Structure 1
């Protein structure tokens, strides 16, 4: 598992030949440093997957036409002198497997997995280093939602590269699109507006002005797709109705929010930093603060079911989400850059980007 990342795209095609410019390397470094979470998957599987991008092994979505994404596949970012910064393996219900890739020139491509033939390419406007495509299915089609820094949102048919629709919103988008109940795509703009866009035709169903800068890497949704949670101005937790954009509640924290909220055990957990310390603020679904704990600096977090996994240097701690109570500790060889927490067969499994697999009885 250790070692530098390499592109999964073969070098036989001239399409991907060439070397990185200094600016491209800088962009790739930003992607590597800042994209430490998975792209937001379908809300049905979000609680088990949120916060889990493995920079070495890669975890993402396998898409079966018309079904919710299940199982592991490849969704990676690569800073190591290659053009491809994101790749997602697609396994359709019918037809051949293919990969979707995004390169540093903002080209989205469909590539046949076995022949490595480039099936199609679409050149897009600039995509932020903290945003990347959202892959999902709708009525048997595999679709890709892409948000750009110029405020244009695209929906693309992944089978042929055709643009289904394009919608302009108010400002640059630095966060990944979010799918809500298979009907709505939510995007948050730099000017504080959050849009709900109809997946069928690209129509804007709602726009809410938060009067704040959305500073989470991406908004997240609860497992039912009922609410969107975002960090605004680095210190406010916003809970919005996912279908209407109405503000349900706002929670305030102290310190600077360091990442998107986590959702576990009916808790919305916002991580912040304050000097050399980190804090976790746990709100219930009505916005009441249920607990807050201070720790030595936390480097990465993940959640699943009723628990939170937290890395502090080479120490990984398992916490109960409802109370913040620590229940397990592990010492690992190195500080993990990313964590994943999953529940399997009555056990909680913590995986790190370094390849360790840690288990605890649930």
Structure 2
């Protein structure tokens, strides 16, 4: 069974490993990696962390710590080792030989979750492209079949083409085909956006860290039935609905986008450019924050980094601190509406509970005020509902 197959196994026991290089966002308890593992259908049975000034070139953690990881994995019956950081192909190969277990990193784990959760045609294509790009960097004689083939029929010797070269060419061809198919999907998306622009629709996109409650808030605002669950990456596909704002007496277009996460693989950022285009083209972003999470400042910073990377950093924002119902009485804010500084700018902040509905009506009023402050040429018919963006 390959390491990728193991990721799909139900409740496979895994050992979690994190290395502290002195970065401020280091998760000492490996809580997020554990949630990612559980989301992918695995069961963390042990965790181990260590400190280093820099990664070991060969084994990432050094030979002594690698021995400790092997002993701990054997003790707990782990069938795989997951690292919270990205590993180079050589480090991954060397660790597998040293530990005698499949080794994977945070990047592949996120890719596998995306592969499991993608439902739309576009989402599946985007995940396929990201996985192909990831695998293309791992062809470093990791598998036993990557040895030089013999010459063709009738050949008197002379080496044939290496299997690794055949694999690389096949993966390259698959990447090209997938990119071509994505271009067609992007073209369809662009047509849908132009239709909305002709209606002069005000576009709003929900963005935020994964599991901040974007889909639950989306459902509360538009009375939709988008899938929402208390787990990482519960939904991956962008859904767009018309939201009627009574105070503005007009409809706006509201999109629920994929959640962001720390160290999101760059391949996914590139591959999901079409999905994130909804955020890039928005007139207003609703940045949804999990107010009950103690690490919300770091999560907000991660979202801002991705927005900067995709060219959406300058779009006006409203901060919505969600999960008000999960805050204890001593943590509950005195005011449900104030301002919060982000990157040197004061942004309007609202506290809501998408689950109970508290504060949602006030959010509607704030959105209506934003729309009225941005005059548009024509008002669309609120009875007309746009279809989902995703097929």
Tell whether the structures are fold-level matches, with TM greater than 0.5.
Answer: no
Q: Provide the TM-score with structure 2 as the length reference.
A: 0.26
Structure with the bigger RCO (C-alpha within 8 Å, sep 6+) is 2
Higher helix share: 2
- Whichever of the two has the greater Rg, that structure is 2
